[in-house]
Every structure is written in C-alpha cells, then in structure tokens.
Amino acid sequence: MSEDNNMTDPPPSADVPADEKAPARAGRDAMATLRRAQQLVSDAQAAIEEASRVVGQGGGARSAGGAEARLAVAESERQELASRLAEVEHQVGRLMTLYVATYQLHATLDPAEVQSTIAEIALNLIGAEQFVLLLIDDEDKGYEVRLMQGGADTRWEQSECYTGGDALVDAALADGGLRFGPTDESPALAVVPLRVQDLTVGALVILKLLEHKPAFVKEDHDLLDLLGAHAASAIFASRVYSKTARKLRTLESLIRLVNKG
C-alpha cells in the first residue's frame, strides 16, 4: 500500500487565517489524510466490483479462480483501509477537540471568560463533575481558589487561599508536572499545573468524573496537557490585558482632570 506520497495540502481556504496555530494545521493535514483514505476505500470497492463482474461473466474455471483470488485480495485491502479510515476519523475528531479547546481559550481577553472556558472544557470535554481551579495571587504569591464546581467538598472554599496539605496538588505546583491520583495522600483524580514558561500560575484539580465516565481515556491526557500550557497563557494574557486597560483608564481620567484644571 502506498503512503500519501502524491498527496498535496489543500489550498488555504478563505476562512483560515495565515497565522493559524499548529492544531489548525494538524487538523487540515488530518482531513487531507482522511480524504486520501476515503479515496483508497473507494478504489478498493471499485476493484471488488470489477472482480465480481469478471466472476459473474464466467470465462472458464481458470479465469474464475484468478478473479476469486483478486476478489479476496481486494476484500482484504478494503477491510484494512476501512480500519485505517476509522482510525483516521478518530484522530480527526481528537484534533478537532484540541483545536476547539485552544481556539476558545484564546478567544477572549476577559479573565472571567477564560476561567469560564476552562470550566467548560473540564466539564464538557473531559467529563469532570467536580473540580477546583487554583490561580496564583499576584499580591502574596499564594494560590487562591478561583473556581469550584461540583461543590460538596468542604476541604476547598472559594476565594480562600490554598495553603497546602494535598500531597498531589503540592507536588504538581512545586515541579509543574501533571499528576494522576487518587493516592493515599490525595483524593484528587488529576492535578493539571498551569504553566507559563517556568512559572506555575495555577492548577486545575479534578476531584470527580461524571457518573457515566468511569476513568480518564487516552484523549483526556492530550486535553489535560493542552490545558496545562494554553490555559496558563490565556489566563496570563487576560490578566496583563485587564491590568493594562485599567491603568490606561486611570491615566485617561487623570489627563482629563489636568486638561479641565
């Protein structure tokens, strides 16, 4: 089976910006691979039909035997390609999910909306029923509980500072590594440190999954990785923007006062 040597990238469509991000490019590449796989399945089906036609026409025992062999090969190829197509479609779906999560995290510069997007990703894409978002406090460099969803866990109080005590959370905040639990020292199912360059600006602590989701799946690990990188930069950018906008408004007010005076 030949690989996609003769496959070319589709021309950029009008709605794809020139500075598109890697997930979008990866998504387009996967779609091109999918189209190629579809074509191969279609070719294999045509070969099966042709072989069936030859068998149907007769032409002696020898030619019928040859056609049957070709039919068997074509059928085997069709099954292999159908299996590959299913895999590629699954990959396309996975890339689409990652693309949408990235897109939505960076679609706003409002810190509250970024937090809301993180919560939506945790609930709707990962299937987390109960989770806590810790964000670094600019003033004293501690971690504040900025979002608590699913409730019913008295160890976490919204707007309170996290002072440590959960071994998994402490370890993730200390070294910036993704952690999975639960462990003897922590009930958390996963702790996703949110990192910008070398700074850990927060963590998403997943405490419980939805009832119909028994455990994390492979795709969730990609999403958690993505959250660790992109949620942090989105939070960082929105905080910087909101601070700058506030300072700008203050300066403009001062200038207006001076001009009046």
Residue ranges in contact with another protein by CB under 8 A: 27, 38, 41, 85-86, 89-90, 92-93, 96-97, 99-101, 103-104, 107, 117, 120-121, 123-127, 129, 210-213, 219
Nearest distance from C-beta of residue 49 to another protein, angstroms: 16
| CA dihedral angle for residue 239, residue 245, residue 247, residue 253, rounded to 10 degrees | -160
Paired tokens of 146:
């900025």
Nearest distance from C-beta of residue 6 to another protein, angstroms: 22
The one-letter amino acid code at 158 reads Q
Q: Which C-beta is closer to another protein: that of 125 or that of 172?
A: 125
List all residues 6 or more positions away from 259 whose beta carbon is below 8 Å from its beta carbon. none
Nearest distance from C-beta of residue 26 to another protein, angstroms: 13
Nearest distance from C-beta of residue 89 to another protein, angstroms: 6
Nearest distance from C-beta of residue 95 to another protein, angstroms: 10
Pairs from 101-106 (Cβ < 8 Å, separation ≥ 24)? 101/125, 101/223, 101/226, 101/227, 101/230, 102/21, 102/23, 102/226, 102/230, 103/23, 105/230, 105/231, 105/234, 106/230, 106/233, 106/234, 106/237
DSSP letters spanning 101-115:
HHHHHTS---HHHHH
Q: Which C-beta is closer to another protein: that of 81 or that of 135?
A: 81
Q: Which C-beta is closer to another protein: that of 95 or that of 135?
A: 95
Q: Which C-beta is closer to another protein: that of 166 or that of 220?
A: 220
Paired tokens of 153:
């866990």
Q: Which C-beta is closer to another protein: that of 103 or that of 137?
A: 103
